[in-house]
Amino acid sequence: MNKRFVTIVTLAVALLAVAGPILLAIQIASKEGRDAETNRALAYAKDVLSRSDRIAAQIDSGIGTLVAARATDPCSEQNLALMRRIDLASSYIQAIGHVSGDRLACSSLGRHGEGLSLGPVEQIASTGSKVRNNVVLPFATETSFIVIERDGYAAIIHRDLPVDTTTAEKDISLATFTPDNRQVRAARGSIRPEWISALPRPGETTTFLDGSYIVAVAMSTRYATGTIAALPMHHLDERTRSAAMVLVPFGVVAGVVLAFAVLYLARQQLAMPAVLKVALRRKEFFLVYQPVVDLQTGRWIGAEALIRWRRPNGEMVRPDVFIPVAEDTGLIERITQRVIEIVAREAGDLFKRHPDFHIAINLSAADLKSPGAGELLLQLARDVSGGPHNLIVEATERGFMQADVAKEVIRKLRASGIHVAIDDFGTGYSSLSYLETFELDFLKIDKSFVDTIGTEAATSTVVLHIIEMAKALKLEMIAEGVETEAQAKFLRERGVQYAQGWLFAKPMAMADLADNLSIVADAVHA
């Protein structure tokens, strides 16, 4: 794979991985913000409505009281006193009085001479009340008033009273309107006429987005009144922006960290072949040997060579990690070559002192695809002071897949006297009939099957099948990864001849193997 390609793909994936959740979070923040703003608009609309309802109730009851008094002279001292009492008792009503024609003749403020001009009636509400929306009175020329008249009496309120709620926001728009004629009565801020067309039923509310506004409309149950509250969207944008202010820097950091982590790992993977080459040149590989034990006598009859890689910084890299990379990049043959070189250097003395002892060498699938490794092994068999019988080749099922070349390599090895073992048996796909076409000497029962001995695992009977298969093929068996006496006993009782595992010995350096071998040999002989 091309490095630049991998880098670009990695960056793109890391950015997507980070950008996705952030966009989602901003989306959620924006939706939550919109919900919160909508609720706020609705609360304002309801607040204005309840205020407007209370005002209407005061007007109703004030005018009702005066009508019920049935004064023959509406402007008598007695009736004026009643007006003052009503005015004092009504927190919202500015004044209450008697209307004659279009003039306010007298009110809770006193007699008004020939009367104060109110101007023409603008609306007649469904209740029959006459409404004047914009009346200027001489005692308060700064403001204008709403005058509501019924049966000769009128209540006067400040025009902005219904929408005069205290709010923190300056740019909120509030209005009351008459549903019948869809006319705005009191307003604060800008109100679009089309908002009134969204008419909920009495007692109900509605909310909607209109361009740059979130609008809530509420309708009174008792009076012919609707209210509107509209919040500009920039509140919302602020909320989204502040969410983004928190999330985006976090996301950028996360994205960069993720990208670097992924790139670091990718670089390591990509760099591995190059590093392996350097490691080969610098001779960073060495071997450890794990004894193979005769399950009947306890004698060490041989050992498996296992490769180890110690990096210059002291770090140990597991073969499970670098062997597959070496296999994929064509370096495995050079590694196998190195293993054979090391065995040739280290094992000579051992074979001299223990002529029957064997060393097993792992071959990869690639080693069996060409005759190279086979040639080297034959060379090794000639070089070491022992002979071909001192060597075992371990090949995995995968190694036998390229049947023709592999068969030829194996045939040559066996012809020279080198023994062949099938490794990791049972973990691949090879069938019994397929294996029969190869000439083999040993079958290694994989650790994964040995692990199941004495457990409830469904595979625990597989080990018995493998043993039967080996017997049918007349192969000697070496069980791998034996860790407990119970496993050893089970295998011994079923005719497995040899075993490897921590129960007996862990992989060790050649010097330790040689030392231990003398001691064990002496003990067995004693």
Q: Which residues of this chain interact with ligand C2E, rule CB under 6 A?
A: 290, 305-307, 318-320, 323, 339, 362, 364, 423-424, 447, 480-483, 500-502, 507
Least CB distance from residue 394 to Ca ion, whole Å? Answer: 4
Q: What angle do CA 336, 337, 343 make, to 5 degrees?
A: 90
3-class secondary-structure state, position 473: coil
SS in 3 state form for 49-91?
HHHHHHHHHHHHHHHHHHHHHCCCCCCCHHHHHHHHHHHHHCC
Instruction: Rank residues 87 and 424 by Cβ distance to Ca ion and give the closer one.
Output: 424
Least CB distance from residue 306 to ligand C2E, whole Å? Answer: 4
Least CB distance from residue 500 to ligand C2E, whole Å? Answer: 6
Instruction: Rank residues 106 and 305 by Cβ distance to ligand C2E and give the closer one.
Output: 305
Least CB distance from residue 444 to Ca ion, whole Å? Answer: 6
Instruction: Rank residues 38 and 362 by Cβ distance to Ca ion and give the closer one.
Output: 362
Least CB distance from residue 500 to Ca ion, whole Å? Answer: 9
Specify whether the CB–CB gap between 165 and 186 falls below 8 A: no
Main-chain dihedrals φ then ψ at residue 95, nearest 5 degrees: -160, 155
| Residue 2, CA distances (Å) to 261, 267, 270, 301, 329 in order | 19, 11, 9, 48, 14
Residue 222 burial class via C-beta count within 10 angstroms: exposed 0-12, middle 13-18, buried 19 and up? exposed
Q: Considering CB distances under 5 to 8 angstroms, the limit depending on partner class, which of ligand C2E, Ca ion, none binds residue 37?
A: none
Q: Considering CB distances under 5 to 8 angstroms, the limit depending on partner class, which of ligand C2E, Ca ion, none binds residue 10?
A: none
Q: Considering CB distances under 5 to 8 angstroms, the limit depending on partner class, which of ligand C2E, Ca ion, none binds residue 306?
A: ligand C2E
Q: Considering CB distances under 5 to 8 angstroms, the limit depending on partner class, which of Ca ion, ligand C2E, none binds residue 215?
A: none
> Binding residues for Ca ion, per CB under 5 A?
362, 394, 423-424, 446, 480
Q: Considering CB distances under 5 to 8 angstroms, the limit depending on partner class, which of Ca ion, ligand C2E, none binds residue 426?
A: none
Q: Considering CB distances under 5 to 8 angstroms, the limit depending on partner class, which of Ca ion, ligand C2E, none binds residue 364?
A: ligand C2E
Instruction: Rank residues 388 and 507 by Cβ distance to Ca ion and give the closer one.
Output: 507
Instruction: Rank residues 264 and 502 by Cβ distance to ligand C2E and give the closer one.
Output: 502
Least CB distance from residue 290 to ligand C2E, whole Å? Answer: 6
Q: Considering CB distances under 5 to 8 angstroms, the limit depending on partner class, which of Ca ion, ligand C2E, none binds residue 333?
A: none
Euclidean distance between CA atoms 116 and 176, whole angstroms: 26
3-class secondary-structure state, position 466: helix
Least CB distance from residue 242 to ligand C2E, whole Å? Answer: 54
DSSP state letter for 169: -
Instruction: Rank residues 96 and 317 by Cβ distance to ligand C2E and give the closer one.
Output: 317
Characterize 123-132 residue by residue with b for buried, 16 or more Cβ atoms within 10 angstroms of its Cβ, and e for exposed. Answer: eebeeebbbb
Pairing relationship of beta strands 442-445 and 476-479 according to DSSP bridges: parallel
| Residue 194, CA distances (Å) to 197, 199, 206, 221, 229 in order | 5, 10, 14, 22, 13
Instruction: Rank residues 215 and 440 by Cβ distance to ligand C2E and give the closer one.
Output: 440
Instruction: Identify any residues that bridge with 358 across adjacent strands, giving them in sequence order.
Output: 302
